[in-house]
C-alpha cells in the first residue's frame, strides 16, 4: 500500500472532485465508476511496481509477495479500464495520456528525484488533471464547470503541498519525527500563512475567471483555519502534519461536492 500521505491526496482528490462534480445525486459517478476503480487499483500497483523496478535494476531477486500484489492490483486495474473503454472507447485516450505518469512515478523512486521541488510541483499539477479525466469519464465531455473544479483543486493541492513541504524541509526534528517548540520554528508557520493567503487570492481569481459562486471559498476554509492553528500551536510531530493534511483533503472533497449538489447541481 502507498505509505505517502500526499500521494493519496494527489491522486484521489482530483479524481473524486472531478467525477463527483460531474455526477448527479441519483446516478453518482454513472459510467465513470470503472474508470475511477481502474485508477485506484493502478495507484495501489505503483508501490509494488516501484519495488520491482528497483530490484530489476539492481539485479536482485524480487520477493514473491511484492510480485503477487503487483499482479493483483495491476490485473484489477486493467480489468476496470477494459470495462470503462467498453462503455466509452474515447476513454482510451485518457489512458494513453496517463500511462507515462505511471512510468515516471515508478522511475522517480529509483532515480531519487521524487522529492525534487520542480518534479513534485510539476507532478501535482499534472495529477490535478485527473479532475478533468474524472469528469470526462462520467459525462463523456469537458463542461465549463469541470475546468473551474480543476482550477480550484489544483490550487488546493499545491497550497497544502507547499505548506507541508515547508514544514518537512525547513523544520528541524529528531529521529522520531518530533518537532521543536514554536520559539525555534515560528518562521516556518509564518511562511505557511503567506502561502495560504496567496492560495486564497488564486481561489478568488479562479472563481472570477470561471464565473463560479463565492460560496466555493468554503472548501478552503478548514485548511486556512488549520494553518492559523498550527501558527498558534505548532504540531508536535511530522506524523500529525501528515494525518492532518490527509483529513483536510477528505474534507475538501466533501464540502466541494456538498456545495455542488446543494446549489441545484451546478457550480455557476
Give pLDDT tens digits for 179-202.
Answer: 877 777 888 889 999 999 999 999
Q: Are residues 159 and 109 in the same domain?
A: no
Give the pLDDT band of residue 208 (cuts 50, 70, 90). very high
Q: Are residues 96 and 194 in the same domain?
A: no
Q: Are residues 32 and 81 in the same domain?
A: yes
Rounded CA-CA distance 81/84 in Å is 5
Q: Are residues 86 and 193 in the same domain?
A: no
Q: Are residues 217 and 259 in the same domain?
A: yes
First to last CA, the chain: 38
Residue 113 has pLDDT above 80, yes or no: no
Q: Are residues 125 and 45 in the same domain?
A: yes
Q: Are residues 79 and 186 in the same domain?
A: no
Q: Are residues 114 and 188 in the same domain?
A: no
Q: What is the total count of domains within the chain? A: 2
> Considering 99, 114, 142, which residue would you say is the last residue of a domain?
142
Predicted TM-score (pTM) of this structure: 0.88
- Give residue-wise pLDDT tens across range 46-73: 999 988 888 888 888 888 899 999 999 9
Three-state SS at 100: helix
Of the candidates 68, 66, 86, 64, the one whose C-alpha atom is nearest the C-alpha of residue 76 is 68
Give the model's pLDDT for residue 105: 84
Give the model's pLDDT for residue 215: 92
Residue 111 has pLDDT above 90, yes or no: no
Cβ(108)–Cβ(4) under 8 Å?
Answer: no
Q: Are residues 11 and 90 in the same domain?
A: yes
Of the candidates 141, 142, 57, the one whose C-alpha atom is nearest the C-alpha of residue 107 is 57
- Give residue-wise pLDDT tens across range 124-173: 999 999 999 999 998 888 776 889 999 999 999 999 999 998 988 877 77
Q: Are residues 111 and 137 in the same domain?
A: yes
Of the candidates 13, 94, 5, the one whose C-alpha atom is nearest the C-alpha of residue 257 is 13
- Locate 48 and state its grid cell: 509494488
Q: Are residues 104 and 196 in the same domain?
A: no
Backbone dihedral angles phi then psi of residue 178, each to the nearest 5 degrees? -75, 135
Q: Are residues 20 and 31 in the same domain?
A: yes
Task: Provide the 8-state DSSP code for 25.
Answer: S
Rounded CA-CA distance 64/49 in Å is 13
| CA 36 to centroid of chain Cα atoms | 14
Residue 37 has pLDDT above 90, yes or no: yes
Give the model's pLDDT for residue 268: 47
- Give residue-wise pLDDT tens across range 215-253: 999 999 999 999 999 999 888 888 888 889 999 999 999
- Give residue-wise pLDDT tens across range 85-102: 998 899 999 999 888 888
Domain carrying residue 212: 143-268
Three-state SS at 261: helix
Residue 265 has pLDDT above 60, yes or no: no
- Mean pLDDT over the full length of the chain: 86
> Considering 142, 174, 191, which residue would you say is the last residue of a domain?
142
> Considering 94, 109, 142, which residue would you say is the last residue of a domain?
142
Amino acid at each position: 500500500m502507498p505509505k505517502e500521505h500526499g500521494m493519496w491526496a494527489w491522486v484521489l482528490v482530483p479524481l473524486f472532485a472531478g467525477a463527483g462534480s460531474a455526477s448527479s445525486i441519483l446516478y453518482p459517478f454513472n459510467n465513470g465508476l470503472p474508470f475511477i476503480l481502474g485508477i485506484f487499483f493502478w495507484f495501489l500497483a505503483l508501490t509494488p511496481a516501484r519495488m520491482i523496478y528497483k530490484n530489476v535494476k539492481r539485479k536482485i531477486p524480487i520477493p514473491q509477495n511484492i510480485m503477487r500484489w503487483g499482479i493483483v492490483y495491476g490485473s484489477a486495474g486493467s480489468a476496470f479500464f477494459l470495462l470503462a473503454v467498453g462503455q466509452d472507447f474515447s476513454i482510451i485516450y485518457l489512458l494513453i495520456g496517463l500511462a507515462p505518469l505511471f512510468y515516471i512515478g515508478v522511475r522517480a523512486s529509483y532515480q531519487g528525484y521524487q522529492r525534487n521541488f520542480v518534479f513534485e510541483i510539476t507532478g501535482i499539477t499534472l495529477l490535478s488533471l485527473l479532475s478533468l479525466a474524472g469528469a470526462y469519464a462520467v459525462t463523456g465531455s469537458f463542461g465549463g464547470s469541470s475546468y473551474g473544479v480543476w482550477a480550484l483543486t489544483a490550487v488546493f493541492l499545491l497550497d497544502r503541498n507547499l505548506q507541508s513541504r515547508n514544514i518537512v524541509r525547513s523544520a528541524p526534528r529528531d529521529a522520531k519525527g518530533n518537532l521543536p517548540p514554536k520559539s525555534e520554528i515560528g518562521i516556518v508557520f509564518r511562511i505557511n500563512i503567506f502561502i495560504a493567503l496567496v492560495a486564497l487570492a488564486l481561489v478568488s481569481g479562479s472563481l472570477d475567471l470561471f464565473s463560479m459562486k463565492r460560496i466555493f471559498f468554503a472548501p478552503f476554509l478548514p485548511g486556512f483555519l488549520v494553518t492559523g492553528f498550527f501558527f498558534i500551536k505548532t504540531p508536535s510531530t511530522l506524523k500529525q502534519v501528515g494525518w492532518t493534511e490527509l483529513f483536510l483533503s477528505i474534507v475538501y472533497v466533501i464540502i466541494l461536492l456538498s456545495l455542488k449538489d446543494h446549489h441545484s447541481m451546478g457550480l455557476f
